[in-house]
Amino acid sequence: MGDQLGSNYDHEALERQRWILRWMIEEIGFRFLLKFDHVEGVENFPQTGPVIVIINHIAFVDPVVVLATLPRNVVPMAKVEAYSYPIWGIFPRLWEVIPVRRQAVDRRALRHAMNVLRAGESILIAPEGTRSPQLQEGKEGVAFLGSRAGAAIVPAAIEGTEGFPSINPRRWKQSGAVVKIGKPFRFLQTGRVPGRGALRKMTDEAMYVLAGMLPPERRGVYSDLESATRETIEFI
């Protein structure tokens, strides 16, 4: 699954093939398999430094759509089963996506993600860990990684990907994918390693930022924006 993801992670060595894959997504995927409408807020994405992109996850293609619209290449974290998908499994292998085993805390995947962030690069996480039409409770991995790497957190809200990939003309007559990139923020550094309770609070505050970018019917467990706090985060 790619030694590049280990301690000797070399982003530059993968840049060429990732840009080729992005070209394929835009010129083939967005022309024949998925209707892409537009992206908003590209100017919010940090030009340098470690970044964690957090997304809502409503369809299989969401991470691919988001990574193809960002100004910098990112390394998605995805369930290990993605490597085994017929045909589609070629993509995560070539991109060197970080495989995650979801049954328990995957420490190997977390180490890989930290190596990417320590190299000053970006990763992409769907904090819910599963697809859902509405936000489910986010897992604490985003807070764990964000607090330790001091990375910028960039929320990216996605809409309009249901039913894709598709060659059905009816689906193509409907609205396509839209990506909205929000303002970046960081978790406040306290000088202490956050415990489980702190990680839970940090994760929920990050998820509320993402929820605020979504229409009400997508917010799920984070629907009550009035109860959102911002005690552990600061916008940058």
pLDDT at 7 over 70: no
How many C-beta atoms surround the C-beta of residue 135 within 10 A? 22
Which residue, among 125, 154, 164, has the nearest Cα to 47 in the 3D structure? 154
Whether residue 90 contacts residue 40, with contact meaning beta carbons closer than 8 Å, is answered with no
How many domains, in total, are found in the chain?
1
Report pLDDT for 218: 98
**Domain extent at residue 75:** 3-235
pLDDT of residue 74: 97
Q: What is the pTM of this model?
A: 0.93
Q: Which residue has the tokens 């995927």?
A: 29
> pLDDT tens-digit profile of 55-70?
999 999 999 999 999 9
| Percentage of the residues of the chain whose pLDDT score is greater than 90 | 83
pLDDT, residue 8, reads: 65
Q: How is residue 50 written in tokens?
A: 């470690």
Mean pLDDT (the chain, rounded): 93
Residue 120 has pLDDT above 50, yes or no: yes
Q: Is 236 in a helix, a strand, or coil?
A: coil
Whether 112 has a pLDDT exceeding 80, the answer reads: yes
- Is the confidence at residue 212, as pLDDT, over 70? yes
What is the arithmetic mean of pLDDT over 140-147? 96
CATH of the domain at 209: 3.40.1130
In order, the DSSP letters of 43-98 are: GGS-SSS-EEEEE---STTHHHHHHHHSSS-EEEEEEGGGGGSTTTTHHHHHHT-E
Q: Give 13: exposed, middle or buried? Use CB within 10 Å, 0-12, 13-18, 19+.
A: exposed
Whether residue 104 has pLDDT greater than 50? yes
pLDDT at 6 over 90: no
Q: Give Cα separations from 208 to 64, 80, 120 (angstroms).
A: 23, 27, 26
The pLDDT score that the predictor gives to residue 2 is 44
**CA nearest neighbour of 4 among 142, 115, 134, 83:** 115
Residue 1 has a pLDDT of: 42
Span 76-87, mean pLDDT? 85
